[in-house]
Amino acid sequence: MQDFTFNPGPRLVSGEGSALRLADVLPSGPCLFVTDREVMKLGLTDRCRSALEEGGRELILFDAVEADPSKDTLLAAVRAGREWGATHVVGFGGGSPMDVAKLAAYLLGSGDDLDAIWGVGLANGRHLPLALVPTTAGTGSEATPVAVITCEGGEKRGVNSAALIADWAALDASLTIGMPRALTAATGIDAIVHAVEAFTSARLKNPISDMYAREALRLLSANLLTACEQPANVAARSAMLLGAHLAGLAFSNAPVAGVHALAYPLGGLHHLPHGLSNALMLRVVLQHNAEVARDHYAELAEIVAPDCAGQGSQAKCAALIDRLDRMVTDSGLAPRLRDHGIPASDIPMLASEAMKQQRLLVNNPCPIDEMDARRLYEAAW
């Protein structure tokens, strides 16, 4: 058997009301509670905040997190936590609040300078105790050692280190009920991309990450359209939330690659939601990888397109790409860059920006250079 290491992620509590149980495990003292205004407006945080306060904790509410959170937002959260002497951090919401919470907990606990830890394995200090509660079934951020922040010029920069892994995560599907169809679709496709890219990662792929990726893809592909069409279906929502978490564990250990690398400029420069950006680049990047990753794609194809069993690997590979592409459109997402107001004249700039994502491109099954990126954006346009 190959040599490998696997990080199992945070301690997990799951089920309805699981977010309330965090009050039983978090330390005493002021709590920096990181979320966004939309989550607050929907009332999703109310019961969790009440449980924390009833446990005697003072809450430092930071609800200014935006989509694709900026460096300024992150540093404002850190200042709030430092000013009020936060002893622990809760991140509650989608990937953006959770990413801010992860980095805020780390910077408050370690005292490190943010600009010294961008990249892989450079954050080696200790974070404040951290709990994460996802309200979308997509990013898997509650499971991962990765946080992504939008910096000057729209560049997405990431910190990837085991020091960012939360101590606890709570999976409560009731918090995802009522999520709009477009958000359900985009975050669900995001999680599917995590599973597929982890399974085909050129670096650090291992038997345990493969196991999580396969099970994640099974749960996600079987339940995405049901969750879109029946938004109050708790069973489908629960399966999506668990699938997203398992995909997060998979790509925490076998990192994502070309789809994400080409998706990031769409978010940074055009402010498209991250899951949508991944959906727009999924088909073309998988086609680019198809020959090199054929056997891996063929294995995954039997999960999402079981009718292809018995066919050759090339036919199975094509079936996977076709079925995932149809899943994007059936979920209600418009599948072309031009559908989202991106002009073809921006393609050279997008390709240039994608080349800044070398930490992701090195994981792709086959190389993507700047000319390849231009061709792929043109195919997605």
User: Helix count (H) and strand count (E) of the chain?
Assistant: 14, 9
Residue 368 within any structural domain of the chain: yes
336 vs 323: CA distance, rounded Å: 17
222 and 146 within one domain: no
| Beta-carbon count within 10 A of 247 CB | 34
269 and 169 within one domain: no
256 vs 26: CA distance, rounded Å: 31
For 133, the 3-state DSSP assignment is strand
The CATH number covering residue 273 comes to 1.20.1090.10
357 and 285 within one domain: yes
Contact yes or no for 146/197 (Cβ under 8 A): no
For 138, the 3-state DSSP assignment is coil
pLDDT of residue 284: 98
- Show pLDDT as tens, one digit a residue, over the chain (381 residues): 678 989 899 999 999 999 999 999 999 999 999 999 999 999 999 999 999 999 999 999 999 999 889 999 999 999 999 999 999 999 999 999 999 999 999 999 999 999 999 998 999 999 999 999 999 999 999 999 999 999 988 888 999 999 999 999 999 999 999 889 999 999 999 999 999 999 999 999 999 999 999 999 999 999 999 999 999 999 999 999 999 999 999 999 999 999 999 999 999 889 899 999 999 999 999 999 999 999 999 999 999 999 999 999 999 999 999 999 999 999 999 999 999 999 999 999 999 999 999 999 999 999 999 999 999 999 999
At 117, phi and psi to the nearest 5? -120, 0
239 and 163 within one domain: no
263 vs 131: CA distance, rounded Å: 28
Residue 276 within any structural domain of the chain: yes
The CATH number covering residue 33 comes to 3.40.50.1970
Residue 5 within any structural domain of the chain: no
Contact yes or no for 200/289 (Cβ under 8 A): yes
107 vs 70: CA distance, rounded Å: 15
How many distinct structural domains can be found in the chain?
Answer: 2
